[in-house]
Amino acid sequence: MKSSKGKGLLGLLVLLAAVVLFGFFGYDTMDDIKLGLDLAGGVSITYQTVETDPTAEEMSDTIYKLQQRVQNYSTEAEVYQEGDNRINIDIPGVSDANAILEELGKPGSLMFTDESGKVILTGDQVASAKAGIVDQNGMKTYVVSLTFTEEGTKAFADATTANVGKRIAIIYDGMVYSNPTVREAITGGQCQIDGMQDYDEAENLASTIRIGSLSLELEELRSNVVGAKLGQEAIATSLKAGAIGFGIVALFMIVAYLIPGVAAVLALSLYVGLILILLSAFEVTLTLPGIAGIILSVGMAVDANVIIFTRIKEEIGLGKTVRSAIKTGFAKALSAIVDGNVTTLIAAAVLYFRGSGTVKGFATTLAIGIVLSMITALFVTKGALYSLYNVGFENPKFYGVKKDGKIINFLGKKNICFILSIAVVVAGWVGMAVNNGQMGRILNYGMDFTGGTSTNVTFNEDMSMEDISTKVVPVVSGITGDADVQTQKVSGTNEVIIKTKTLNVDQRQAMEDAMVENFGVEAEKITAESISGAVSAEMKQDAVAAVVIATVLMLLYIWLRFKDIKFAASAILALVHDVLVVLTFYAIAKWSVGSTFIACMLTIVGYSINATIVIFDRIRENMALKTHKQSLEDVVNLSITQTVTRSINTSLTTFVMVFVLFLLGVSSIREFALPLMVGIVCGTYSSVCVTGALWYVMTTWKNKKQQKAK
């Protein structure tokens, strides 16, 4: 006994030390986490080449040169290719974003000059430039081979003839990249530049020359200018929301589950520290939706613990000892935890591969959170429980007892639930039809979907809608020439969202100047985002494709795991139901449908199916134990009754996390959190009241069909 108590105490001390240690390192690494533009401030641009089918070499050269340019603004700047002819640029921490937008899209100027600075050749007269290695007297020499156009051949011949023994400088954007000496007149239209130290230096020079000669033009598809103060506020409020939400969840777990709740809080505390460390280690770029993903995953991390603790209570209720109940509880909960998390990971994976930017960041943090939560629940919580038991918490009263009580007749209300669900979905279609008549579109598409420019202005005072329409709108219309300026107030703040047609850089700057001059607004409190219709159309397609792909993959997984197409079909129908119900709220409440809409929908899909799988896992288990006295209806009602407390508790903790985020978060976080809360409630309802009923109806229909066939 003393030995067990010693082991338990040692285990608890080790766990507490790990919580403190990883918590400290997690907090310490927060400064090392890469912040997205919406947190650090800066500019994000998506360019598309005017030429529809550029070569890989042309794209590579353009990316290289743009990377060279943006490094002048920020060492954290990134340039990367998207698709075949698009280039994304992210420059965090910049202040004069409009000037950067104007400069980046301009082609660079490449020129060859003589020693007196006279231009003797321009970039468009170079046909090709390639790096290479030649053998000169048994030694490797790195060179750049140039081929000139017909016009360039004559110009270079004249220049080299007149400058034998002198130097010709190769200059790009005002910087000298090479300054070779002319050894002889070059009249054949080709030459070599040597003297490079390695192949990389030769390739960089060749790339510089090539890009200066390219005719690739870049057109701006999308740009997003974000002020750093918004980011600081977003970080502070989101962290505050996370701390408050976590505190509420921790208190709830201890009150509801006693000693197991204490073990869960220790595991969740370790989980938070580890997730911060992993974000830093994997260099995940953290965005506002990413913060939402972390806080949401904390709420979802409770789910695995709740499933386990419910099982432990049931085993104690059957008369088992606490130690045996802990062992059996973990074993019986394993399949539901693994299946539920895998299906949610499928949604996260689709979101990552089909999304971009902030949506991809959200998927990354959600996926990391799901994997980590499963590991901490199955191993850390288990170790903590055994340690607490060994210390002396052996009495079943510390763990709670759940005995089989009255079975609730959920299936008796299935027709009412079906009618209610259909009515809500139909209301959504009606709402979309009304919207189409009033707005010309079925949903209130945000700037991400419609194209245009959205400017967020934080005024020094709370502007009334009358003041906005009579004072602000005329100023905006005068600058933009847009007679259909749309405005929206952000509740609880002095922030106003102004939506206009797409503005060019000059108009954007003029609008910023006007806000400062006319209303005394601080320039850093003005943010702007532009997006073209081309990107909007693709985002709509990606949103539909993402939901379809995720649904099909989850259907296949459930079919494979449960070996019953009826389980998979009813789960997918319930998911479609959840998506349509949330869509109803988007239509009737006219919520803005933007980039986070995709993340929101797929999160609801992944979250909802998690609860469904727990119920199906019970149905599968109880079907194997079914007696002759039990009907199929009895089995389904029993399974839902056994899991309903878990469904409510898990949804409640997740809802609390998101609700606190909604109360304290900035406008972009609220836009994400509000439909997510609807999705959590709807997902709980459909899991408890719809999925089991659908499976029952399908099964009884199939049985009747088989009996008739006999």
Contacts of 524 (CB under 8 A, 6+ apart): 95, 227, 228, 229
In 3-state terms, what secondary structure has residue 46? strand
- Please give the single-letter amino acid code of residue 465: M
d(Cα 247, Cα 620) in Å, to the nearest integer?
36
Q: How many CA atoms lie within 13 A of 83 on its CB side?
A: 16
Among the listed residues 299, 227, 213, the one whose alpha carbon sits nearest the alpha carbon of residue 264: 299
Q: Which residue has the tokens 């901490």?
A: 376
Among the listed residues 446, 423, 449, 440, the one whose alpha carbon sits nearest the alpha carbon of residue 584: 423
**Can you list the positions of beta strands (E) in 93-138?**
110-113, 119-122, 126-136
Contact 300, 345 (CB under 8 A): no
Count of CB atoms situated within 10 Å of the CB of 508: 25
Contact 193, 146 (CB under 8 A): yes
In 3-state terms, what secondary structure has residue 695? helix
Distances (CA, A) of 21 to 28, 46, 274, 371, 465: 10, 42, 10, 21, 51
Torsion region of 490: left, alpha or beta (phi above 0 gives left; psi -120 to 50 gives alpha): beta
**pLDDT of 173:** 64
Contact 65, 103 (CB under 8 A): no
Percent of residues in the chain assigned helix, strand, coil, to nearest 5 = 65, 15, 20
Count of CB atoms situated within 10 Å of the CB of 623: 15
**pLDDT of 537:** 63
- Polymer length of the chain: 710
- Please give the single-letter amino acid code of residue 253: M
Torsion region of 481: left, alpha or beta (phi above 0 gives left; psi -120 to 50 gives alpha): left
In 3-state terms, what secondary structure has residue 185? coil
**pLDDT of 331:** 92
Tokens of 572: 């997918």
Domains, the chain: 42-104 (3.30.70.3400), 110-213 (3.30.1360.200), 227-426+535-709 (1.20.1640.10), 452-531 (3.30.70.600)
Among the listed residues 376, 396, 377, the one whose alpha carbon sits nearest the alpha carbon of residue 259: 396
Helix residue spans in 441-532 (DSSP H): 447-450, 465-467, 473-480, 505-519
Among the listed residues 154, 172, 191, the one whose alpha carbon sits nearest the alpha carbon of residue 180: 191
In sequence order, the β-bridge partners of residue 81 are 87
**pLDDT of 72:** 65
Among the listed residues 634, 614, 621, the one whose alpha carbon sits nearest the alpha carbon of residue 683: 614
Q: Could you tell me how far CA 619 lies from the centroid of its own chain?
A: 34
* Mean pLDDT per 10-residue section of the chain, whose length is 710 residues: 72 83 76 71 79 81 75 73 80 70 61 87 80 82 87 89 89 77 87 82 77 64 64 69 85 91 90 85 74 70 85 88 92 87 83 68 80 88 90 88 80 94 95 89 76 83 82 86 75 79 81 88 80 61 74 85 87 88 91 73 73 87 87 92 87 86 75 84 90 92 74
**pLDDT of 105:** 55
Contact 567, 559 (CB under 8 A): yes
d(Cα 333, Cα 195) in Å, to the nearest integer?
68
Phi, psi angle pair for 106, to nearest 5°: -80, 135
Contact 300, 607 (CB under 8 A): yes
In sequence order, the β-bridge partners of residue 220 are 47
Among the listed residues 659, 610, 35, 683, the one whose alpha carbon sits nearest the alpha carbon of residue 344: 610
- Please give the single-letter amino acid code of residue 221: L
**Can you list the positions of beta strands (E) in 421-534?**
452-458, 486-489, 495-500, 526-531
Distances (CA, A) of 447 to 215, 486, 489, 592: 31, 12, 16, 9
Count of CB atoms situated within 10 Å of the CB of 285: 23
**pLDDT of 653:** 86
Contacts of 72 (CB under 8 A, 6+ apart): none
In sequence order, the β-bridge partners of residue 143 are 132
In sequence order, the β-bridge partners of residue 218 are 49
- C-alpha dihedral sign at 274, 276, 280, 286: positive
Q: What is the DSSP secondary structure assignment for residue 180, as one 8-state letter?
A: P
Helix residue spans in 525-594 (DSSP H): 533-562, 565-588
**pLDDT of 470:** 84
In sequence order, the β-bridge partners of residue 134 are 141
Start-to-end CA distance of the chain, whole Å, equals 64
Among the listed residues 657, 656, 622, 654, the one whose alpha carbon sits nearest the alpha carbon of residue 640: 622
Count of CB atoms situated within 10 Å of the CB of 660: 23
Burial of 632 (0-12, 13-18, 19+ CB in 10 A): middle
Rounded to whole angstroms, the maximal C-alpha distance in the chain is: 107
In sequence order, the β-bridge partners of residue 496 are 457, 489
d(Cα 636, Cα 561) in Å, to the nearest integer?
19
Burial of 511 (0-12, 13-18, 19+ CB in 10 A): buried
In 3-state terms, what secondary structure has residue 287? coil
Among the listed residues 324, 325, 323, 304, the one whose alpha carbon sits nearest the alpha carbon of residue 403: 325
Q: How many CA atoms lie within 13 A of 103 on its CB side?
A: 13
pTM, 2 dp: 0.70
Phi, psi angle pair for 164, to nearest 5°: -60, 130
Contact 136, 113 (CB under 8 A): no
Distances (CA, A) of 55 to 46, 59, 211, 216, 517: 18, 6, 12, 10, 47
**pLDDT of 472:** 87
- Please give the single-letter amino acid code of residue 140: K
Q: Which residue has the tokens 């401030």?
A: 41
